[in-house]
Amino acid sequence: MRKASQPTENRSLNAPPSPQLPEPVFHDSAHHIKIFQGDCVEILAAIPESCVDLIFADPPYFLSNNGITCHAGRMVSVNKGDWDRSRGPDANHEFNRAWLAACQRVLKPNGTIWVSGTSHVIHSVGFAMQQLGFKLLNDITWVKPNPPPNLSCRYFTHATETIIWAAKNSKSRHAFNYALMKQHNRNRQMKSIWEIYPPSKEEKVFGKHPTQKPVALLERILLASSNEGDLVLDPFLGSGTSAIAALRLSRQIVGVDFEQTWIQLALIRLCSNLVQVRISAICLQFDLDPTPDPVDRSRSPVPEKLRLVQRDCRFYFVGKSDRRVIFSVNAQSLDEAREKFLASGHADSDAIFIIRTQTEIYLL
């Protein structure tokens, strides 16, 4: 009898073990969302070949060179972090070839990839695509109507970014929802120049990524070249804009990012879109005067301090698969509320979100 540890006849003795996907830091099976933390090349190597319909990538621009720029009327540093620091043109180009090759492997035969960047990186991306055999389809010019001014007054104001749209190879029959794009452009053929405002204040209410893209831009990309139920991949997830667009347009999404800070921001933004809860407030009528005798308060002096007469702290647990409040309880702390949640027969995995409300009544 062959031992379980021995190789089978069909497995090469010298073949390297297949890489294993790590556990996602976030997985919502109801909406087909998976987010991984780590190096995108390593994680993509563990994803099955030819399974992704569309990829959107916003790779490092290698702009962190101790320079300055203008933001909200103030002079600020362009440094975004070590991940955005240039290692030199040769090393930067090899980095682009590596992650693009990893993306090409997981694309379906007719899948497409969109890559955004400024002139600092986009030419390397385009050249790497040609070296790898991608089929270049379009270069989109994203025009920002309100760009920050150029402080040095030695250059034209930077008002655009380029987005390269490419198919997996020359044999690809890529998807393009031409009629829908024409409809969105007032029944005219949509051009490769897109005027879309940068992210609004509402899109940055939970925080912002230095290269954050507007949801409107990602929605147009997904609508143009994918369909409901398609699998979207973002190897540089950042603040999670692609995941939000995929959620709103009923696409599946796999996102990857190396930095914990951006993973947390993406999760907060995602959860704010995932959870819609209706909490009913019940107005209780009560009498502050225990005796039936009328009390004249018209001449009573106003106390220097308000007196707290009642405090109510309540926790609402929102279901992971059923997007509604599945349990609510009065408790003094989150730990106490969680203990009561578990004691009720629920498991931690049953909830995706916890909302805390506090009501205080003061006596004048």
Q: Has residue 356 got a pLDDT over 60?
A: yes
Q: Is the pLDDT of residue 49 over 60?
A: yes
- The pLDDT of residue 352 is 82
User: 222 near 249, Cβ under 8 Å?
Assistant: yes
Closest C-alpha to 315, from 334, 339, 343, 296:
334
189, 145 in Cβ contact below 8 A?
A: no
Domain locations along the chain: 26-274, 278-364
Lowest-confidence pick of 26-35, 65-74, 244-253: 65-74
Q: What's the mean pLDDT in 286-305?
A: 49
Q: Is residue 229 within 8 Å of residue 222, measured between CB atoms?
A: no
pLDDT cut 90: percent of the chain above it: 54
Q: For 141-159, what is each residue's pLDDT tens digit?
A: 999 988 877 777 888 988 9
Cα atoms in the 13 Å half-sphere on the side-chain side of 207: 15
116 phi/psi in degrees, rounded to 5: -105, 145
Q: CA triplet 196, 198, 199: central angle to 5 degrees?
A: 120
CA distances from 68 to 75, 85, 160, 210 (A): 7, 14, 18, 13
DSSP three-state, residue 104:
helix
What pLDDT, in 10s, does the model give residues 304-342?
567 776 778 889 888 877 767 889 999 989 999 999 999
Rg over alpha carbons for the chain, rounded to the nearest Å, is 27
The CATH T-level fold of domain 26-274 is Rossmann fold (3.40.50)
CA pair distance 127, 131, nearest whole angstrom:
6
109 within 8 A of 50, measured Cβ to Cβ: yes
Q: Residue 36 is encoded by which pair of tokens?
A: 């991984």
Q: What value does the mean pLDDT of the chain take?
A: 83
> What is the reported pLDDT for 38?
95
Task: Give tens-digit pLDDT for 115-139.
Answer: 999 988 999 999 999 999 999 999 9
DSSP designation for 305: S
Could you tell me the two tokens for 128?
């790497």
Residue scoring higher pLDDT (65 or 12): 65
Give the pLDDT confidence score for residue 7 in this predicted structure. Answer: 39
Summarize pLDDT for 224-247 with one digit per residue, the tens.
Answer: 999 999 999 999 999 999 999 999
Over the stretch 155-193, which tens digit does the pLDDT of each residue have?
898 899 999 999 999 999 999 999 999 999 999 999 999
Residue 70 confidence (pLDDT): 47
CA-CA distance, 146 to 84, in Å (whole number)?
24
Q: What are phi and psi of 152, to 5 degrees?
A: -80, -20
Q: 203-207, 250-254, 282-286, 307-311: which has the minimum mean pLDDT? A: 282-286
pLDDT tens-digit map of 63-88: 655 454 445 555 544 445 565 567 88
Q: What angle do CA 106, 128, 171 make, to 5 degrees?
A: 55
Across the range 95-113, mean pLDDT stands at: 97
| Burial call 280-305: b when 16+ CB within 10 Å, e when fewer | eeeeeeeeeeeeeeeeeeeeeeeeee
The residue to which tokens 């203990």 are assigned: 339
CA-closest candidate to residue 33, choices 254, 323, 275, 351 = 254
- Amino acid 246: pLDDT: 96
Q: Which of 200, 243, 245, 238 is nearest to 222 (CA)?
A: 245
Average pLDDT over residues 205-217: 89
The model's confidence at residue 282, banded by pLDDT at 50, 70 and 90, is: very low
Maximum alpha-carbon separation in the chain: 98
